[in-house]
Amino acid sequence: GAGVSQSPSNKVTEKGKDVELRCDPISGHTALYWYRQSLGQGLEFLIYFQGNSAPDKSGLPSDRFSAERTGGSVSTLTIQRTQQEDSAVYLCASSPIPLGRQFFGPGTRLTVL
């Protein structure tokens, strides 16, 4: 079956521009996570969606970051007015049960020039 997919695989943008990153979780998975990994750093939690509950946004680094999940499936992570420090690999994961085992997508590599 299909796994978690993310698009685009690579994104290069100019400082100050907005970007949208997309995640398609595994069908039927109720939980969805966004993480990022900056160069030389470990994985950093950003946001967690579970069903229709209010998302856990505790990991979002600033108000330039936002995410939504439409219809309990596809999720979009939006970064407004990108900065060079936003350059990282952004990973999405989904899980069939709340805080259960996670299945990761391939990631989107974001480069802000």
Binding mask 62-101 for other proteins (x = CB under 8 A): ---------------------------x-x-------x-x
When asked if residue 10 is in the footprint of other proteins (CB under 8 A), the reply is yes
d(C-alpha 96, C-alpha 107), whole Å = 19
Instruction: Give Cβ neighbours of residue 104 (< 8 Å, ≥ 6 apart).
Output: 4, 91, 92, 93
Phi, psi of 48, rounded to the nearest 5 degrees:
-135, 130
Closer residue to other proteins, CB minimum distance, 55 or 104: 104
d(C-alpha 78, C-alpha 82), whole Å = 10
Closer residue to other proteins, CB minimum distance, 35 or 79: 35
d(C-alpha 106, C-alpha 60), whole Å = 20
When asked if residue 53 is in the footprint of other proteins (CB under 8 A), the reply is no
Q: Write out the two tokens for 49.
A: 């969606």
Distance of CA 59 to the CA centre of its chain: 11
Determine the interface stretch with other proteins among 13-21, 34-42, 64-72, 76-84 (rule: CB under 8 A): 34-42
When asked if residue 38 is in the footprint of other proteins (CB under 8 A), the reply is no
Q: Summarize as ranges the residues that interact with other proteins (CB under 8 A).
A: 9-10, 33, 35, 37, 40, 42-43, 45, 48, 89, 91, 99, 101-102, 104, 106-107, 109
